[in-house]
Structure 1
Amino acid sequence: MLDTHGRIYVQPLIERTAKGLLRLGLSANQITVTAFLVGVAASVIIYFDQPYLGVAVLWISGFLDAVDGSMARLSRTSSGWGTVLDVTFDRVVEVGIIIALALRHPEPKILFLLMLLASSIIIVMTIFLTVGAVSDKQSEKSFYYQPGLAERTEGFILFSLMVLFQSYLVYTTILYIFIELFTGMQRLLEARRILKE
């Protein structure tokens, strides 16, 4: 939701950063890989019980993840390979955060909830990617970007809450699962509508 409706407010900063990195001779794919490595570093930092630093590093990763797409569009180098890297690395970063929290909280109830969260993310991403692949609708991205309640920014907010308030991890994880499943239903209903048109 925030990616779809709030991007306009941060896009000028994203574009300035993208132009600056392009002037330095960096490519969109190089920034995609950098965002991935920074995101993985966030998981390691969180595992070693540095939640504030871990969350800050996670958000830097997320910012770079937004910048790489703008770089590709500005330099007219958007590619299917870049999209595959971007989407795959995003999921690896998310899995890394879940694994870091699971290693820090091996209690069965929390592990079960984290497993449900990972499963809900897989289900919702399957819907998102499948609709993007079969839809004729266009967006500025290389495939149809289906909006929903939980997009990348909401995921980062929820992960931040999970990391910063680990004494409430059960409740924040349940909240994240609920929001993911709600988003999945939103996207299924929209898919039914647009694919029957």
Structure 2
Amino acid sequence: MLDARLRRIIDPPLDSLGRRLARLGVSANSVTWTGFGIGVGAWALLALESYPAALALILLNRLADGLDGAVARHARLTDLGGYLDIVLDFLFYSGVVFFFAVGRPEQALPAAFLIFSFVGTGASFLAFAAVAAKRGITTAARGEKSIYYLGGLTEGTETIALFVAICLLPDLFPWFAWIFGALCWLTTAVRISMAMDTFKR
């Protein structure tokens, strides 16, 4: 819901840094993989219940996620780069919730519900993008992307806010999980409705 608005604020500095990295010969895929490696470190810290340190790595992971696209725009956009970006994002998101539950196994049920909800948003997002590509439907609402980015109530910005809240207030995780998961299912329902309206024509 907030991604398009946030883009207007974060894109200029990311674009400037991406341009510099591209000139130095840094590839977008190397930024993607580095960010994912940082995210794996966050998983380990979540499992150890080291929430402030985990939050720092989560935010660094998200910085890398925004930066890889900026590097690609100044070097070369590739299908592989777009693929890696989205696949590693979904793995990272689910991993944050899973490894939080590793550290607090008594929270396994709300964690499972949240990951289940991520499957709904992810599947509805990627399936729409696949059919949109087949039909030549494009959008630049969230910047220049390798695939069609369909909006919703729970996009990247809201998910980052969730992770920040989880790390700062871990005892409230069940509330966050149930509420955010419900919003994910609302997002999924809206996306399915949009797909039915768009693709039936």
Is TM more than 0.5 here?
yes
RMSD over aligned CA atoms reads 1.3
What's 2:157 paired with? 153
Residue identity in the other structure for 2:150: Q
Cα offset, 1:122, TM superposition: 0.9
Residue identity in the other structure for 1:57: L
Take 1:162 and 1:73, find their aligned partners in 2: how far apart are those partners?
Answer: 33
2:105 counterpart SS class: coil
Percentage of identical aligned residues: 28
1:98-109 aligned within 5 A: 98-107=97-106
Distance 1:5 1:194, change over 3 A: farther
1:159-174 aligned within 5 A: 159-174=163-178
Cα offset, 1:169, TM superposition: 1.2
Take 1:13 and 1:179, find their aligned partners in 2: how far apart are those partners?
Answer: 31
TM-score (norm 2): 0.91
Cα offset, 1:196, TM superposition: 2.6
Cα offset, 1:67, TM superposition: 1.0
What's 1:86 paired with? 85
Cα offset, 1:15, TM superposition: 0.6
1:139-174 deviation line (CA, Å, top 9, x unaligned): 321221101111112111112212221111110111
Take 2:145 and 2:20, find their aligned partners in 1: how far apart are those partners?
Answer: 21
Whether the 8 Å CA contact 1:101–1:163 is kept in 2: the answer is no
Whether the 8 Å CA contact 2:47–2:101 is kept in 1: the answer is no
Cα offset, 1:118, TM superposition: 0.7
1:44-96 deviation line (CA, Å, top 9, x unaligned): 12222221121121011111101111211222x21111112111111221122
Whether the 8 Å CA contact 2:38–2:57 is kept in 1: the answer is yes
Whether the 8 Å CA contact 1:51–1:164 is kept in 2: the answer is yes
What's 2:116 paired with? 119
Residue identity in the other structure for 1:133: A
Cα offset, 1:123, TM superposition: 1.6
1:1-197 aligned within 5 A: 1-75=1-75, 77-107=76-106, 110-135=107-132, 136-139=136-139, 140-197=144-201
